[in-house]
Amino acid sequence: MLKIIAWILLAAALVVLPFVLSYSQQEVLVFLTINVLVVSSYRLLTLTGEWSLAHVVIMGVGAYASALLTKSAGFPVPLAMLSGAAVAGVFALILSFPLFRMKGFYFLIGSFAAGEIMRLIWIKFRDPFGGPKGIKLIPGFDTIEIGGLKIDFFEPVNYYFLALIVVAVSLWIIWRVERSPVGLIFHAVHWQDKLAESVGGQGAPLPHAGLCHRLLLCRFVGRAAGALHRNRQSQPLQCRRDGLCSDLGDRRGYGHVLRPDPGRDRVDDPQRRCLARTGDGSGPAADLRPDPDCIGPVPAKGP
Amino acid sequence: MKDDRTNAGARPLLEVNGLTMRFGGLTAINNLSFSVQPGTIHGLIGPNGAGKTTTFNVVSGYYTPTEGRVLYKGQDISGLTMPQVAARGLVRTFQHSTLFQEFSLLQNVMVGRYMHQRPTLLGAILGTGAKAARENEAKARETLAFFGLQLRAHELAAELSHGHQRALGMAVALAAEPDMLLLDEPFTGMNPEETRQMMDLMFKVRDRGVTILLVEHDMQAIMGLCDRITVMNFGQLLVEGAPKDIRNDPKVIEAYLGGARHVA
Ligand SMILES: Nc1ncnc2c1ncn2[C@@H]1O[C@H](COP(=O)(O)OP(=O)(O)OP(=O)(O)O)[C@@H](O)[C@H]1O
Ligand SMILES: [Mg+2]
C-alpha cells in the first residue's frame, strides 16, 4: 500500500515538475530524463559483468541515423526515431560478433576500439556526418495532431512528456528482463561463467540472448538518442543586436553559425533574445520560443 | 547386486580412448583409456596431481584434448564446448565449491534448469514464459528437497556450511537432468554422517538412471559406492577393477603411499 502511494506521488511529481520550471530549466529536464535512460540501460549490460565503452557510441549511432534519415531521406521524425533505434540495434548486433568473443579487460579494450572507430568516422567524414560540429539543420519534430489535439514538440514540456513515456516503458522492460530467467542467466554468467556453462548456460542460446539483449538495449538508447537529436532543435537560438542568430554550435563552443533572425520582421526589437513564432515578442525572455523557420537554409550573407 | 551392473557386454556410455593432455611441457594425462558402463557408479581415483580433475575438464569440454578421443553415447565429443557437452546430457561439478554465492539456493538450482527452460528475451518482456518458469521453479524446489535443502531455499548460498555447499553444487548439476554426472570430490567438507547421507542420495540418483563418474579421496565412500574403479597415477592408467580388487592391489597401495610421501 505504502509502495503504491509512493509510486503515485512520484508520478504526480514528475507530471507537475515541468510546470514549475522555467523554459530553459525545462530543456535541461528533457536531457536529464533522456540521460536516466542512457545510464539505466547500462545496467542490463553490466549484469553480465562486462563493461562496454561503446555504449554511448551506439547511442550516437542511433542519433546520427535518425538525423540522417530525417534530413537526407525525408523520413517523418517519429519514424526516423524508431528507425534510428533499429539501426543502432543492428550495429550493436554486428559488433557483438567479434566483441562477444572477448571477456573482461579484453572486452573493455575491444569495445573501446570499436567505439573509437565509429567516433572517428563521424569526425573525419564531413559528408554526411558533418565533422566535429555534427549534423546541422535537422528538420524538427512536426506538430502532431491526435483527434483535434495539437501537440507541438518544440515545446519542451511536450517533449518532456514524450521522453518520460519512452523512459518509463523502457525502464519497465529492463526491469522485466532483469527479473526473468534471462536476467538470472546474465547474473549467473557474471558470477560463475564456468558453472553456468557446465549446466548448458551460454550454449547457442546464450550468445543469442546476449545479442538480443544488446539489440534491445540499443534500441532504447537509440530511441533516446533520436530524442536527443530532435531535442537539439528546440534549443532557442541566440540572436544578436544585428539580427543574426547563432545555432547550438555556439553553445558547444564550436564557434558561431550566424544566420538572419527570421523573427526580426515580426519582433521589432532586435535586442530581444528573439524568436517567438506565435507570441508577439513582448513576453519575458524565458517565455520565448524558438522559431522553426529559423531552421532553414542559411543564406550566404546576412542582411 | 553390484556386480550385475558392470555388464561388460553393453555399450559403454562414456569411452575415453588414448587421451593425452599436455600443458606446455607438462603431461597431465598420458594416453589414458577407460570406459564407464551406463547405470553404474564409476570411481576415478589416484594420488594428488594424478590428473583426475584434468580428465574431468577434458571430458566435460573445458579443455580440448591434445590427443585421443572422448566418446559419449557412441559419439565423439572431444573438442565440444562445455555447454554443448551439457546439452548432450553430460554435466559435471567442480572440485572447489563453485556456486553462485550471491544467489539464493533456489536461484542457484534455477540456473541448473536453464537448458530445460530456454528463456527468451521476448518471453521475458511479454511474460509468455510464466508457465514454464513456474514448472521449472517447482522442479528446482523438488531438487532442493532431494538434498534436504528445501527449507533454506531463500537463504544465500554463501551462508551454507561447506558440506551443504557441496550438496547444493550437486543439486545445480542434477537440476539439469543429466544422463551422466561427473562429480569432483563431492564429499570434501562433509562429516561422516553427512557423507553417509550423501552416499544414500548417490544411490538414489543412480537408481533414477543417472550414471555417475566420481572422483573422491574418501576411500570408504569410494569403496562403498562404486561398481568399478579406475586408478590413475601420473596421468596414466594404473589399474582398473572392482572395489575389492583395487583395495588390495599392491600397485595402488604403492601409488598412494608414494603419493602421500610426495604431498607430505
Ligand atoms: N591448466 C593447467 N595448466 C598447467 N598445469 C595444469 C593445469 N591443470 C592441471 N595441471 C597440472 O596437471 C596435473 C594434474 O592435475 P589435476 O588437477 O588433474 O590433479 P588431480 O588428480 O585432480 O589432483 P587432486 O587430487 O589434488 O585434485 C598437476 O600437476 C597440475 O599441476
Ligand atoms: Mg582434482
Q: Is the pLDDT of residue A252 over 50?
A: no
| Mean pLDDT in order along chain B per 10 residues (264 residues) | 56 92 91 93 92 93 92 91 89 85 90 79 74 86 92 90 88 92 89 90 92 92 92 91 87 72 44
Q: Is the pLDDT of residue A298 over 60?
A: no
Q: How far apart are CA B140 and CA B153, in angstroms?
A: 10
Mean pLDDT is lowest, of A48-52, A207-211, B3-7, B141-145, for A207-211
Contact A240, A222 (CB under 8 A): no
Look at residue A179 in the predicted model and tell me its pLDDT. Answer: 81
Q: Which residue has the higher pLDDT, A140 or A215?
A: A140
Q: Which atom of ligand 1 is nearest to the CA of B46?
A: 21
Of A177, A196, A212, the CB nearest to B111: A196
Residue A266 C-alpha cell reads as 515580426
Look at residue A293 in the predicted model and tell me its pLDDT. Answer: 46
- At A251, the pLDDT band (50, 70, 90 cuts) reads very low
Q: How far apart are CA B205 and CA B210, in angstroms?
A: 6
Q: Which residue of A has its CA nearest to B98?
A: A195
| Cβ within 8 Å of A, B 78-97 | 81-84, 86-87, 91-94
Kindly report the backbone phi and psi dihedral angles of residue B71, in degrees, each rounded to the nearest multiple of 5, phi listed first.
Answer: -110, 130
Substitution target from B77, B84, B121 for chain A, most A beta carbons within 10 A: B121
Q: Is the pLDDT of residue A67 over 70?
A: yes
Mean pLDDT is lowest, of A153-167, A261-275, B30-44, B220-234, for A261-275
Question: SS3 of B138, please?
Answer: helix
Judging contacts by C-beta atoms under 8 Å, the chain A residues touching residue B101 are 191
Look at residue A68 in the predicted model and tell me its pLDDT. Answer: 87
Look at residue A235 in the predicted model and tell me its pLDDT. Answer: 40
- At A288, the pLDDT band (50, 70, 90 cuts) reads very low
Look at residue B7 in the predicted model and tell me its pLDDT. Answer: 57
Judging contacts by C-beta atoms under 8 Å, the chain B residues touching residue A212 are 120-122
Q: How far apart are CA B233 and CA B179, in angstroms?
A: 28
- Pick from A104, A94, A101, A125: which is nearest to A214 by CA? A94
Query: Is there an atom of ligand 1 within 6 Å of B28 CB?
Result: yes
- Pick from B157, B166, B227, B172: which is nearest to B191 by CA? B166
Residue A274 C-alpha cell reads as 528573439
From the number of C-beta atoms within 10 Å of its C-beta (0-12, 13-18, 19+), residue A127 rates as exposed
Contacts with B101 (C-beta within 8 Å, 6 or more apart), sequence order: A191, B156, B157, B158
CB pairs under 8 A between A and B: 108
Checking DSSP bridges between strand B180-184 and strand B90-92, what pairing results, if any?
parallel
Calculate mean pLDDT across residues A158-175: 85
Quote the radius of gyration of chain B (alpha carbons, Å): 19
Judging contacts by C-beta atoms under 8 Å, the chain B residues touching residue A101 are none
Q: How far apart are CA A303 and CA A297, in angstroms?
A: 14
- Pick from A28, A19, A23: which is nearest to A287 by CA? A23
- Pick from B193, B82, B244, B168: which is nearest to A197 by CA? B82
Contacts with B55 (C-beta within 8 Å, 6 or more apart), sequence order: B16, B19, B21, B29, B32, B44, B232
Look at residue A207 in the predicted model and tell me its pLDDT. Answer: 40
* Start-to-end Cα distance in chain B: 39
Mean pLDDT is lowest, of A35-39, A214-218, B54-58, for A214-218
Instruction: Give whole-number Cα distances, B139 to A106, B83, B122, in Å.
Output: 38, 21, 23
Q: Which residue has the higher pLDDT, A140 or B201?
A: B201
Residue A117 C-alpha cell reads as 572507430
Look at residue A197 in the predicted model and tell me its pLDDT. Answer: 79
Look at residue A48 in the predicted model and tell me its pLDDT. Answer: 72
Of A181, A192, A196, the CB nearest to B119: A181
Provide the mean pLDDT of chain A.
Answer: 68
Look at residue A239 in the predicted model and tell me its pLDDT. Answer: 44
Q: Which atom of ligand 1 is nearest to the CA of B56?
A: 18
pTM for the predicted model, two decimal places:
0.69
Contact A289, A276 (CB under 8 A): yes
Question: E strand or H helix at B42, and its extent?
Answer: strand B41-45
| Cβ within 8 Å of B, A 155-214 | 173, 176-177, 180-185, 187-188, 191-192, 194-206, 209, 212-213
Residue A111 C-alpha cell reads as 569495445
% of chain A exceeding 70 in pLDDT:
66
Query: Is there an atom of ligand 1 within 6 Å of B230 CB?
Result: no
Contact A271, A280 (CB under 8 A): no
Query: Is there an atom of ligand 1 within 6 Å of B36 CB?
Result: no
Q: What is the DSSP letter of A245?
A: E
Contact B144, B157 (CB under 8 A): no
Query: Is there an atom of ligand 1 within 6 Å of B96 CB?
Result: no
Q: Which residue has the higher pLDDT, A246 or B91?
A: B91
